[in-house]
Amino acid sequence: MRFNSRNRNLGEIPEIDLTPMLDVVTVVLAFFVVLSTTLSAPPGELPISLPAPSEGDDPAYTGDPPIALRVQLEAGDVLTIDGKPTDRATLIARLPEFLQNNPDSPVFLIPGAEVNYQAVLQLLVEMQAVGGDRVSLAVGTTATPKTPETPETDS
């Protein structure tokens, strides 16, 4: 028994547009070609050309690093300036003199591990009110910058 269908064109093959699929395949292929040529070079041998320095560029830095004032805040509001005990009023009074005598030098506030964050923030705000953007918070640093009391000497 044969069923009558409403569509008498059952024998025709439907058309499928392959153009969008070919576009996607072409883009993916191009991506992998570029990626494989980049990764095929040995590490450190990518051809990179850097511009040559012009006469207006700054010369390479060859001098000593600037003197830095290190303010350490320990638990119990114990303050030290470059290892010497001090108090908050003395620190705030001494800061403008240091900044004026050392125009390129930064000031670092180094909090101890047990210090309350609020105490660190209050001291940092007080110091930045005097020193502006030259006062920075140094966290997790083990480097010892050169200080005014202990300048490095060539022997």
Helix, strand, coil shares of the chain, percent, nearest 5, are 35, 15, 50
pLDDT at 123 over 70: yes
Where along the chain do its domains lie?
69-137
| pLDDT at residue 150, as a whole number | 46
Q: Per the structure block, which two tokens stand in for 97?
A: 């003199």
What digits encode the pLDDT tens for the residues 33-63?
988 877 766 665 656 676 776 665 555 555 6
Give the model's confidence band at 146: pLDDT under 50 very low, under 70 low, under 90 confident, else very high. Answer: very low
pLDDT at 71 over 80: yes
The model's pTM: 0.50
Taking CA atoms, 127 is separated from 50, 136, 137, 139, in Å, by: 41, 9, 10, 16
Give the model's confidence band at 152: pLDDT under 50 very low, under 70 low, under 90 confident, else very high. Answer: very low
Q: What percent of the chain has pLDDT over 90?
A: 10
Which CATH code for domain 69-137?
Answer: 3.30.420.270
Strand partners, 107: 69, 135
The helix or strand, by DSSP H or E, that contains position 125, with its residue range, turns out to be helix 117-131
| pLDDT at residue 75, as a whole number | 84
